[in-house]
């Protein structure tokens, strides 16, 4: 079977699955399981309106967009000899919750590239109450995701990527395992300036002892990226993305990044959720970020994300190239 036929089949499957995601109404909010899969782990993307597209060119971006992993070998920042990449981040999140992310990737030559991810969310102590609402103690809750990503260019300007995820949730003494799959297609122009991507994420199930099997929060992400080179002493990156979720209202994100001589970056973005930003204030969609590369091997990223009355999040991540 020719590569072009394989690509056609993959995009047909992606489109067919997407129709199922779009067809699920937003009234399903709260009916899915495995909410840890919704966590943002890409610090660079968070600073650009939470748009986790191909331009992120970081380990964490491939957790949301697996096809982007193949781009590492074609980008200026990730050419040889940096064949092994790693990234770590820790977030003191909302309502006392904390989560960490660690990942590593390695090139496989003509076989593509493979990455390993681990996400751990700890909710901390939660008060236990009886039927009358009286506090009778405390319990802990946590969630862990382990994922493997594979990505490869099938043609010069067409890449595919797949994530396979195992997750488990622990609430007090109750345990629930689950599985999920992401699949993405990426198309780019030969000058590496225009990128289009479509990804289906979190297609999976979780098993609960009491409530039985539940679906994970599936979503369709469609994005476009434009990189304008030779802008002053650097380049300007514009990213946009639409997200249709199976259990929530649609999201739209727009972000900008100016990269100065491939060493320093300034980022700004805005994400709008239908019926969401209006509830608190428009500033809840604004995000800011910055980044730097030291000695060509150490990557630093920072993002500021406000969540209205819930508070604000300052996120820092570190990456290493070998």
DSSP per residue over 15-28, as a string? HHHHHHHHTS-GGG
pLDDT for the residue numbered 212: 73
pLDDT for the residue numbered 25: 46
Instruction: Return mean pLDDT, the chain.
Output: 80
pLDDT for the residue numbered 39: 84
Residue with tokens 């191909």: 54
pLDDT tens digits for range 203-224: 998 887 566 788 888 999 999 9
pTM: 0.82
Q: What is the DSSP letter of 3?
A: H
pLDDT tens digits for range 156-206: 889 999 999 999 888 777 788 999 999 999 998 888 889 999 999 999 988
Which homologous superfamily is 3-321 in?
Outer membrane protein transport protein (OMPP1/FadL/TodX) (2.40.160.60)
Residues 6+ away with beta carbon under 8 Å from 207: 176, 177, 178, 213
DSSP per residue over 95-157, as a string? GG-EEEEEEEEEE-GGG-EEEEEEEEEEEEEEEEE-TTS-EEEEEEEEEEEEEEEEEEEEETT
Examine the pLDDT at 289 and tell me if it is beyond 60: yes
pLDDT tens digits for range 9-40: 444 455 445 545 545 544 555 567 788 888 88
Out of 57-61, 255-259, 295-299, pick the least confident: 57-61
pLDDT tier, 8 (very low <50, low <70, confident <90, very high otherwise): very low
Query: Domain residue spans in the chain?
Result: 3-321
The number of angstroms, rounded, from the C-alpha of 81 to the middle of its chain's C-alpha atoms is 26
């Amino acid at each position: 079977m020719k590569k072009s036929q394989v690509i056609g089949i993959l995009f047909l499957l992606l489109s067919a699955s997407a129709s199922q995601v779009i067809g699920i109404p937003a009234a399903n909010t709260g009916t899915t399981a495995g909410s840890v899969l919704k966590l943002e782990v890409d610090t660079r993307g968070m600073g650009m309106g939470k748009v986790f597209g191909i331009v992120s060119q970081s380990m964490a971006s491939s957790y949301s967009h697996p096809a982007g992993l193949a781009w590492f070998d074609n980008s200026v920042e990730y050419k040889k000899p940096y064949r092994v990449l790693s990234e770590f981040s820790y977030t003191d999140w909302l309502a006392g919750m904390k989560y960490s992310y660690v990942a590593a990737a390695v090139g496989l030559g003509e076989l593509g590239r493979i990455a390993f991810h681990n996400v751990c969310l700890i909710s901390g102590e939660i008060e236990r109450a009886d039927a009358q609402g009286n506090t009778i103690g405390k319990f802990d809750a946590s969630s862990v995701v382990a994922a493997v990503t594979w990505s490869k260019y099938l043609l010069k300007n067409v890449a595919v990527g797949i994530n396979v995820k195992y997750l488990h949730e622990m609430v007090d003494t109750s345990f629930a395992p689950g599985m999920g799959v992401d699949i993405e297609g990426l198309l780019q122009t030969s000058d590496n300036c225009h990128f289009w991507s479509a990804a289906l994420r979190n297609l999976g199930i979780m098993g609960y002892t009491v409530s039985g099997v539940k679906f994970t929060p599936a979503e369709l992400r469609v994005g476009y990226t434009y990189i304008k080179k030779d802008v002053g002493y650097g380049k300007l990156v514009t990213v946009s993305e639409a997200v249709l979720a199976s259990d929530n209202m649609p999201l739209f994100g727009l972000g900008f990044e100016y990269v100065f001589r491939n060493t320093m970056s300034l980022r700004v973005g805005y994400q709008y959720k239908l019926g969401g930003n209006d509830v608190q204030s428009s500033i809840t969609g604004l995000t800011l970020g910055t980044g730097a590369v030291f000695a060509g091997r150490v990557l630093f990223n920072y993002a500021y994300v406000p969540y209205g009355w819930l508070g604000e999040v300052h996120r820092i991540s570190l990456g290493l190239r070998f």
